[in-house]
């Protein structure tokens, strides 16, 4: 059963810049820079027939290209036990529009709605037992982090194969955003 998610792969220069943030927090696993992405919708494990329907439904999503800018860093989890560190995404109506189109296409197909509000982010590191002072210092040190906006013209359906060395993502279908 493939494990699927829909995401925006990041341009190489953006991934390189994000990769420079890695380090300095003990107990963390930094995401390899080539794997950095912005998740639009986690689908999870589906059987083969569903995968084809999902591909077709995503093919019917229409949205225009848009710009996003990554800015700020933060963490999830509690202050005492942070679970991950992310880079933030500035408010982008185009991004919100695309995400809601994808969500409604998948719900129309019969997938369970994503119950949680869309919080766009790029996961930078997953943490286990990292000292909270070090996490707080990382976030304070990168408070002013911001990259120039870049244009998004495609989104991608990925499969994810969980392995001991970390998940292996494979782009399955790339979808173009059309119009100006
Ligand atoms: P691992 O789970 O082994 O740490 P991973 O999280 O990179 O690896 P997946 O779990 O397949 O790989 O996740 C693929 C993408 O979907 C990642 O961006 C992940 O953050 C996101 N994701 C995974 N599970 C969920 C979920 N339940 N809700 C929202 N996003 C999720
Ligand atoms: Mg995961």
Determine if ligand 1 sits within 6 Å of the CB of residue 39: yes
Query: What residue spans define the domains of the chain?
Result: 3-176
For the domain spanning 3-176, the CATH number is 3.90.1140.10
Instruction: Pick the residue whose CA is nearest to atom 31 on ligand 1.
Output: 42
pLDDT value for 167: 95
Q: Reduce the secondary structure of the chain to three states and give it as a string.
A: CCEEEEEEECCHHHHHHHHCCCCCCCCEEECCHHHCEEEEEEEEECCHHHHHHHHHHHHCCCCCCEEECEEEEEEEECCCCEEEEEEEECCCHHHHHHHHHHHHHHHHHCCCCCCCCCCCEEEEEEECCCCHHHHHHHHHHCCCCECCCEEECEEEEEEEECCCCCCEEEEEEEEECCCC
> pLDDT value at position 180?
66
Looking at the CA of 5, which ligand is closest? Answer: 1
Mutate to test the pocket of ligand 1, among 121, 160, 165 (most ligand atoms within 8 A of CB): 160
> What is the spatial distance between Cα 33 and Cα 20, in angstroms, rounded to a whole number?
9
**Is residue 42 in contact with ligand 1, taking CB distance under 6 Å?**
yes
**Is 0.85 surpassed by the pTM of this model?**
yes
| pLDDT tens by residue, 165-179 | 889 999 999 999 997
In this model, does residue 32 exceed pLDDT 70?
yes
């Amino acid at each position: 059963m493939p494990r699927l998610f829909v995401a925006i792969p990041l341009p190489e220069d953006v991934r390189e810049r994000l990769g420079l943030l890695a380090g300095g927090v003990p107990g963390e696993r930094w995401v390899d820079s080539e794997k950095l992405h912005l998740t639009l919708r986690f689908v999870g494990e589906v059987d083969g027939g569903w995968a084809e329907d999902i591909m077709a439904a995503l093919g019917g999503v229409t949205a225009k290209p848009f710009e996003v800018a990554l800015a700020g860093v933060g963490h999830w989890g509690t202050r005492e036990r942070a679970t991950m560190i992310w880079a933030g995404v500035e408010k982008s109506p185009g991004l919100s529009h695309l995400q809601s189109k994808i969500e409604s296409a998948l719900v129309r197909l019969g997938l369970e709605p994503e119950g949680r509000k869309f919080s766009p982010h790029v996961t930078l590191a997953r943490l286990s037992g990292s000292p909270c002072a070090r996490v707080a210092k990382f976030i304070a040190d990168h408070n002013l982090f911001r990259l120039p906006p870049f244009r998004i013209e495609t989104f991608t359906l990925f499969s994810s194969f969980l392995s001991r060395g970390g998940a292996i993502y494979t782009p399955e279908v790339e979808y173009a955003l059309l119009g100006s």
